[in-house]
Structure 1
Amino acid sequence: MQTVDASSAVPKPISTANAPAAGGHYSQGVIHAGQVYVSGQLPIEPNGTHRPDADFDKQARLAIRNMLAVVQAAGSSIENLVKVTVYLVGVENWPRFNSIYAELLGDARPARSVVPVPELHYGYLVEIDAVAAIGD
């Protein structure tokens, strides 16, 4: 795990092998002013393996786990999630996503937006980003 001074005025990029590497000119996450901003996480295996043909449940679980891996690498936790944004292909997947999300987040109830979209990169069905506080 990377140790970063959360009070620093300069944004600090986060990188963890527990989530897929950034696929473009961005960081997995950035710490600034006591928060971590997690870039959109697709359901890509941490080793970079793509499985866009996986069923929705597997995709949702993996995208959430990737998001949480970046949060944890920044020194935060599921309990410190402040805001989550979810992009879903197919509004019919919303109830299933909500069930999986509730299961994996447990008692944590950050603010959340769910945005139905026509398509996502690589043909995936879900992408998730987040903001979490660092510290108590």
Structure 2
Amino acid sequence: MKKVIHTDNAPKAVGPYSQAIQIGDMLFCSGQISIDPKTNEVFTGDIKTQTEMVLKNIEAVLAAANMKYSNIVKTTIFLTSMSDFATVNEIYSKAFTDAPPARSTVAVAGLPKGVNVEIEVIAHR
């Protein structure tokens, strides 16, 4: 059965979608961007801070489903510039120190709200 996962500790959806959907032991998380869930303010500054905010938002969605980073089996990173790849990797690697998930990184023409990084994840209990 499909279960909608929602937490006030991550940004509200900026469109007609759920923060995450759980089906059985699988969790499909929508892409997270650098929005502060407390203020709903979008941060479009340096890529390091954007990535840290995105990962914090992902962590909050996972927690709402009683999961953590170690449950993630696949991530997709969207970047508006591949020149940010090394910086994003530096921050990302701090979240996935042991047995990192499978991953794709894609350069895109633009992202919602003018941010430079978006990350979506799939997790398994």
TM-score w.r.t. structure 1 length?
A: 0.87
Alignment of 1:1-136 (within 5 A): 10-47=1-38, 48-52=40-44, 54-134=45-125
What is the root-mean-square deviation of aligned Cα atoms in Å?
Answer: 1.0
Of structures 1 and 2, the larger Rg is shown by: 1
Count of aligned positions: 124
Which structure 1 segments of 5+ residues have no match?
Answer: 1-9
Query: Displacement of 1:106 after TM fit?
Result: 2.2
2:62–2:68 CA contact under 8 A, matched in 1: yes
Give the match's secondary structure for 1:25.
coil
Q: Which runs of 4+ in 1 moved over 3 A?
A: none
Assess if the C-alpha contact under 8 Å between 1:81 and 1:108 holds in 2.
Answer: no
8 Å Cα contact 1:78-1:108 kept in structure 2: no
TM-score norm. by structure 2 comes to 0.94
Q: Once the two structures are aligned, what percentage of the paired residues are identical?
A: 36
Q: Which runs of 5+ in 2 are unaligned?
A: none
**Partner amino acid, structure 1, of 2:26:** Q
